[in-house]
Amino acid sequence: MTLNTFNLPDVGEGLTEAEIVQWKVQPGSVVAINDIIVEIETAKSLVELSSPYAGVVAELLATEGETIDVGSPIISVADGDDDAPAPQMPGELSTPPATTHPSAATDASATSGFTADSGQHADAQEPPEAGPLVGTGPKADAVKRRPRRADAEPMQAPTPQSAPPADGAQPANRVLAKPPVRKAARDLGINLSDVEGTGRSGEVTKRDLMSYQAQRDAEQDGANTFWEATQKPQDQRIERVPVRGVRKATAKAMVDSAFSAPHVSIFVDVDASRTMEFVKRLKASRDFEGIKVSPLLILCKAVIWAAARNPSVNATWAGDEILVKHFMNLGIAAATPRGLMVPNIKDAQDLTLKELAIALNELATTARAGKTQPAQMQGGSLTVTNIGALGIDTGTPIINPGEVAIVAFGTIKQKPWVLDGEVIPRWITTLGGSFDHRVVDGDLSARFMADVASILEEPALLLD
């Protein structure tokens, strides 16, 4: 039997580390080449890794919640075991023979010990130390398939729902819970061992968790409050949030950009009434049926159009030269549960209005689900941030590293506006633009923003 070790690969440019989010396999699982084995979070996104080997998972070398350096081993896969029959279907645990040689029993015990410590099985004990470790856990009946607990003794297959072995391999305080319940408990800061399970074999269900949370809230006078009791010292009322993953990468990128590129920002108020009318017509159009359409779509088209008229805003500062890009990889800043991401739409200049609308919808859906891939965030040329979705009028956005311009789209609301000498209500928005003054001077930035504004004021210009 050959033991193959899989090291954490570099799944993106410059990746140095990643966090293990969730294992899709467990010791004893049968895997084929290209089977998904683990989900990791890099500095940019969630990524699923596939197995480069076929065989039986021998050991998980990293726990969920652990940050691993690129090149470090994360899993070992055995390419075969002459002593163990093959499972009936992929993903099931391989069942060891009834009799085991002492050396094999020792290996099984070592593997079994890792499984219990790593929390990968639903019936494994909770880790003794506090931490973000969360087991993926199979169904409760998987106990039948992994009775490797004896120390150099032949093992006996346990009966269904049997009690833990008398030798104490599985302590009585073990907790059964499915992966979504474990994740919810971690998000709520609840120790599953404090929750009384009412499910099969004492499994903690989502209802049990919610009931416990409600009871805990009731004990705090029934009020969900951010402020903690003043009876506690202030140093005990400070929440410490680890900086890692997307948040860590975003922080570094923003600092690098803010202190390396000299930012200049300008603003312009725009009468977007005709854009609002145009969006209304698109929503009623059969061609756009089932497609989400918003003023952001028109702004994106306006930015692409204006960049073609002012090419230097679609560029990169490279020290001794300026790289002007004759393509538009339009970045869209997206707030996600894991932090700020800026995926981009490749070659957006070639898309029709309908195709661009579909691309925007797909980009937003993928980003909110945390499934944006590193390749989707590389090679951006200019970024749009839609702060108006949160009711904000305008702002001074920080330029995405590697670019020289970013446009902030403020909220659109009715305001008094002077038109043909009369004050009337119109749909008004404010655009804010930040530019790298090494590449884009005041005149160029003003002309670019004026061109963007002209499209919002009269979308029919796009037909020219």
Q: Would you please indicate which residues are annotated as catalytic (active-site) residues?
A: 437
The span from the CA of 287 to the CA of 307, in Å, is 27
What is the dihedral sign for C-alpha 185, 191, 195, 199?
A: positive
Tell me the C-alpha to C-alpha distance, in Å, between residue 347 and each of 311, 351, 368, 424, 452. 15, 8, 22, 40, 19
Tell me the C-alpha to C-alpha distance, in Å, between residue 90 and each of 32, 50, 53, 54, 156. 8, 15, 14, 11, 24
The span from the CA of 67 to the CA of 359, in Å, is 33
Q: Which of 407, 247, 222 minimizes the C-alpha distance to 332? A: 407
Burial tier of 27 (Cβ tally within 10 Å: 0-12, 13-18, 19+) = buried
- For 7-51, give the secondary structure using H, E and C: ECCCCCCCCCEEEEEEECCCCCEEECCCCEEEEEECCCCEEEEEC
Burial tier of 25 (Cβ tally within 10 Å: 0-12, 13-18, 19+) = buried
User: Do the beta carbons of residue 449 and residue 302 sit within 8 Å?
Assistant: no
Q: What is the DSSP letter of 82?
A: T
Q: Which of 358, 354, 344, 349 minimizes the C-alpha distance to 305? A: 349
DSSP letter for each residue of 354-401:
HHHHHHHHHHHHHHHTT---GGGGSS--EEEE-GGGGT-----PPPPT
Q: Can you tell me which residue has the tokens 């940019």?
A: 44
